[in-house]
Amino acid sequence: EPEVTQTPSHQVTQMGQEVILRCVPISNHLYFYWYRQILGQKVEFLVSFYNNEISEKSEIFDDQFSVERPDGSNFTLKIRSTKLEDSAMYFCASNPGREDGYTFGSGTRLTVV
C-alpha cells in the first residue's frame, strides 16, 4: 500500500537554528498538508498546499514557517529560527482529491534544545 514517507524520524536542533522537515507524499496525490502535535496535546493543522501554492494556513503558521515542493516529489516544511515551543511531532499528509481520505506519514519528532 502506498505510503507517505517522512524523514528524519527524529531531529534534535538548537534554538535559533533552521530546520527542514522532509516528506514524500503519495505520487498521484494533489493535496499536501502539515500538522503539528505538541507532546500530549491534540493534532493541529498548520498548512495545506495545492497546485504549488499554499491554499490555507493556520494562525500557528507564521512567518518563521514555509513550505515548498522543490522537485515534484518532495514536500518540505522549513522552520527558519526554531524556538523551544516548536518542539513537537510534525505530520505530513496527502490526499488525491479535496474530499478524498487522508494518508498521514509516520511523523518527525522535532526536539529544540
Partner 1 sequence: AQKVTQAQTEISVVEKEDVTLDCVYETRDTTYYLFWYKQPPSGELVFLIRRNSFDEQNEISGRYSWNFQKSTSSFNFTITASQVVDSAVYFCALSEVTDSSYKLIFGSGTRLLVRP
Residue 99's region, left for phi above 0, alpha for psi from -120 to 50, else beta, is: alpha
Q: Is 104 helix (H, G, I), strand (E, B) or coil?
A: strand
33 binds partner 1 (CB under 8 A): yes
What is the longest distance spanned by two Cα atoms in the chain? 39
Which residue's CB is nearer to partner 1, number 18 or number 56?
A: 56
Binding residue for partner 1, selected from 50, 68, 81, 113, defined by CB under 8 A:
50
15 contributes a contact to partner 1 by CB under 8 A: no
Quick note: the x/- pattern for partner 1 over 80-99, rule CB under 8 A, is ---------x-x---x--xx
Nearest CA among 71, 90, 85 for reference residue 24: 71
In this structure, the number of other CB atoms found within 10 A of the CB of residue 21 comes to: 22
Give the nearest distance from C-beta 16 to partner 1 in angstroms.
26
Give which of 101, 80, 69, 106 is closest to 13, Cα–Cα.
80
Q: Which stretch binds partner 1 (CB under 8 A): 14-22, 48-56, 64-72, 74-82?
A: 48-56
Does 70 bind partner 1 (CB under 8 A)? Our answer is no
Among the listed residues 25, 4, 14, the one whose alpha carbon sits nearest the alpha carbon of residue 79 = 14
Residues near partner 1 (CB under 8 A) are 31, 33, 35, 41-45, 48, 50, 55-56, 89, 91, 95, 98-99, 101-104, 106-107, 109
